[in-house]
Structure 1
Amino acid sequence: MSIPHLFRCPISLDLLTDPVILSTGQTYDRASIEKWLSYGNQTCPVTMQKLHDFSMIPNHTLRQLIDRWLLCELKNPGSIARDSSLESLKQILESQQPPTLELMQKIRSLSAESDENRVSMVQMGYLPLLLKIMFTDHSMKYFLSIENSCIAEEALDAVLNLLPNSQLGPLLLLREASAMNALLVLLKGGTMKIKISICQLMVAISSSHDLKELCYEIGQNQVILQGLISVMQHSHHVGALNAGIRALSSLALSLTTVEITIEAGIIDSLVECVMQADKSNVSLALAAIEHLSRIESGKKVLRENPLAIRVLVKLVFRVSDHEGSENAIGCLLVICEESLSAQEVAINEGILTQLLLLLQSQCNSRAKTKARVLLKLLRSKRVVEPCMFGSSHPRLIPWS
């Protein structure tokens, strides 16, 4: 099948699945442009214009055109045979409870094969069917056994494959008590792959405006939050650590009521793990920490964390994008604004050098403004700091 030029991402050259528009007016697939920016690029790949605004706006019109085009393509003779096969497979899935590993592997494979398959499967109702299989009272114990956990892994992979081509309404199933209980059991006792998939599901829920109530309920559930924190704290498993950071940060940023989230220990956990995260997730974690520290309970937790200042100072000039630097400085302002001892610790950790380097860089105006505010806060300090050029002799930092 030949994909029209306008339906291809200029970066990956694949069919656009989540088209977003940059400030330059160019459209890219979200995953591709996020990867481009995570490498430190600050330009639009097509026009090479410098980006002063990194916001991404969903291109709903193009998404609808692509969906219509795919549906038209499905009407060709080859599509008829495929649809017949998918319909038969769905009937087997509906009648075969619980499903076999072979059946679920076939469904997962088809969902990963092509956009045509995914659109057909979404239209046929595969997504709600898979969710009902996964998140029921029956599934809780069945999928925890070693021999059946592979079935759950395949089913969740299929769900995640279908989500970009689907409306997310079927996920409202998780608001039911039995489904939420099944999710908790799988998050607590499932394999690491199952736990990572649930983290990815949390990111999808957090990103949907239509699932705000579900997102709120998850954000108020300490058991789920503790389960996600537990996944994130697997520092020896990079995939789990990054999946947990992304899930917790996405949830935190989507909530307006965050007291329960803070009580669950998300701030301390993010501070502990952020240095080990992939660059693309560091900025997200810093944004979540700053967001949570805007209320008094969050400020208190951040100020009392013994690692916070050291970690944040190191990240001021190390983050892959300027928004991350801005968030790191914002967190330091929260910690230092009313504490002379915190200011002293920040200075001893080298914040002055970091801020001065940042001000000489091409970071955005918001980051520079915050950097100047923090420098002003620290200007009354006359301290001895190691020379930034490697001399063993200290140097005085004078302030007028």
Structure 2
Amino acid sequence: MSIPPLFRCPISLDLFTDPVTLSTGQTYDRSSIEKWLADGNLTCPVTMQRLHDLSMVPNHTLRHLIDQWLLMDPQFDPDHIKNMDPDLSLATLKNNLQSQEASFTTKMETLRKIKDLSKESDTSRICLIQLGFFPLLLQLLFGSHHPETRLSAQGTEIAEEALNCLLNLSPSSQLGSLNMLKEPSSLASLLMLLDQGSMNIKISLWNMVEAISSSFETKDLCLLLGNNRTFLQLLVSLLHQSSDQCASDAAIRAIAGLSNLESNRGNVIREGGIDGLISYLSNPDRRHATKALTTIELLLGLESGKMALISNPNAVHVLVKMVFRVSDHEGCESVVNSLLIICYDSLRVRKKAINAGIVTQLLLLLQSQSSGRAKTKARLLLKLLRSMWSEDPSRCKLQHGLVDS
């Protein structure tokens, strides 16, 4: 079916899943308007009026109308589905997920059908979300009051399939359901899956953590995870995983999201986050180098972050090599600023940076198309390093081709 214009969020242009109305009278999907406000915008996107009141009122009427409209689609009419395939009844699928008596085979078949429906169309995905399948899948994964101490082979298969379904539904769902992970038993199940699960399970879970860290609804959960030592140790260990790039990429996105909350940064540093980030950048196949570099820059806002970076024997060399290898302005600015921060306080670091070729890198940067901010930082760093080559000018000129100005 074609989605009526009034049922689309003006920001995302997708079907509303959680419509909320602002003080201007305009309605948006909650996740879309929260992201708009989180980016520093204080206006209504449609009217451009300044928002003096940031409160959001749930639009229950619109939500009800959308629910009724979805039921008009014969694809989701219960009688129609039952006539086509009795096993495809949405009520049956929900019962299979909730039933303690359902066999392993039944649960796997149910999850595969949900996955197929979630991929079929936007309408199918929205319908599954509206009918409550997202929290049901979370309950299946983490809702046991007595979590297993060891993950069985069947448990692994169910977890992988359930996570596939969750990730298909989560971009449009209400992430507040994830707050169930604040319960001790649910958190224990999460830690068990991160520790004992397959690499596919771990990648899916770290992708979920990235979503948790990006939502206002799950801020408290993000803080809870950032205070859990076992959780952070499992995350950092994956940053050192050079054999599976997808796993380390997912871990980078997760640790970057957690570090966006200032309260989490000290814990990330304490559990070896700096060393893990440097290890990731040492890998030649680093697809999220910019995210790693901006996270390091954030962590250097703490004295413990500076000490951890300076103590890492490879950090200066790795960062110097990244100066001219980052393809975007943000990463370039972050790496130069990070080097400026650690060079400012340490003569030993300045010596290591010069020996690693920082002067040549900075001179190349100044001649490139890098941003003005990156070039300003580069000039400040060169000025700081002048004291080094004034002590031994012949060595620096020989190594870097400098000439007296």
User: Do they superpose with TM above 0.5?
Assistant: yes
75, 80, 96: which one pairs with 1:78?
Answer: 75
Q: Which residues of 2 match residues 249-268 of structure 1 at below 5 A?
A: 249-268=256-275
CA drift of 1:396 comes to: 4.9
Structure 2 residue corresponding to 1:297, chosen from 304, 309, 313: 304
Return the TM-score normalized by structure 2: 0.77
**Which residue is 2:341 aligned to?**
334
State the partner residue of 2:96. Answer: 92
Question: Hey, what does 1:355 align to over in structure 2?
Answer: 362
Q: Tell whether 2:127 aligns with 1:120.
A: yes
8 A Cα contact 2:359 2:400, kept in partner? no
Distance 1:70 1:335, change over 3 A: farther
SS in 2 for 1:141: coil
C-alpha distance after superposition, 1:17-63 (max 9, x if no partner): 99xxxxxxxxxxxxxxxxxxxxxxxxxxxxxxxxxxxx79799979x
- Aligned residue type for 1:76: D
> What is the rounded CA distance, in whole Å, between the counterparts of 2:362 and 2:188 in structure 1?
47
From 383, 398, 402, the counterpart of 1:397? 402
Identity of aligned residues (%): 44
Shift of 1:2: 5.2
Report matched runs for 1:1-40 at 5 Å. 1=1
Aligned to 2:373: 366
Q: Counterpart of 1:147?
A: 154
Letter of the 1:234 partner, please give it: Q
Aligned residues: 354
Rg (Cα) greater in structure? 2
Change (3 A) 1:150 1:222: same
Cα distance change, pair 153–386 in 1 and its aligned pair in 2 (3 A)? farther
- Matched with 1:28 is none
How far apart, in 2, do the equivalents of 1:395 and 1:95 lie?
70
Match of 1:316 in 2: 323
Moved more, 97-106 or 325-334: 97-106
Aligned mates of 2:387, 2:76 — CA distance in 1: 73
Secondary structure of residue in 2 paired with 1:236: coil
Q: 2:232 aligns with which of 225, 242, 261?
A: 225
Whole-angstrom distance in 1 between the partners of 2:133 and 2:374: 46
Code of the residue aligned with 1:275 in structure 2: it is: S
Counterpart in the other structure of 1:26: none
The answer to whether the aligner puts 1:282 opposite 2:293 as a matched pair is no
Instruction: Report the CA distance shift for 1:396/1:280 in structure 2 as closer, same or farther (over 3 A).
Output: closer
Matched with 1:378 is 385
Are 1:177 and 2:184 an aligned pair? yes
Q: CA deviation at 1:239?
A: 1.0
**Structure 1 match to 2:217:** 210
Q: Distance in 2 between matches of 1:95 and 1:142?
A: 22
Is the 8 Å Cα contact of residues 259 and 299 (structure 2) preserved in structure 1?
A: yes
Q: 2:176–2:217: 8 Å Cα contact kept in structure 1?
A: yes
1:281 deviates by 1.4
Query: Aligned pair in 2 of structure 1 residues 149, 77: CA closer, same or farther (>3 Å)?
Result: same
Q: Which runs of 5+ in 2 are unaligned?
A: 18-38, 47-58, 83-88
Partner of 2:32: none
Question: What is the one-letter code of the residue matched to 2:331?
Answer: G
Residues 233, 286 of structure 1: alpha-carbon distance in 2 compared, 3 angstrom cutoff? same
Counterpart code for 2:402: I
Q: CA deviation at 1:279?
A: 5.5
| Contact 2:138-2:178 at 8 Å conserved across structures | yes
Relative to structure 1, the CA distance from residue 68 to residue 142 in structure 2 (aligned partners, 3 Å threshold; closer, same or farther) is farther
5 Å-filtered alignment, 1:158-177, equals: 158-177=165-184
Structure 1 gap ranges (5+) = 9-13, 19-54, 388-392
Are the counterparts in 1 of residues 226 and 267 from structure 2 also a CA contact under 8 Å?
A: yes
Gap change, CA 1:307 and 1:77, over 3 Å in 2:
same
1:307-359, CA deviations, whole angstroms, 9 ceiling, x for partnerless residues? 11111111111112111011111111121102122111111211112112222
Offset at residue 188 of structure 1 (A)? 0.7
**Which shows bigger deviation, 260-269 or 129-138?**
129-138
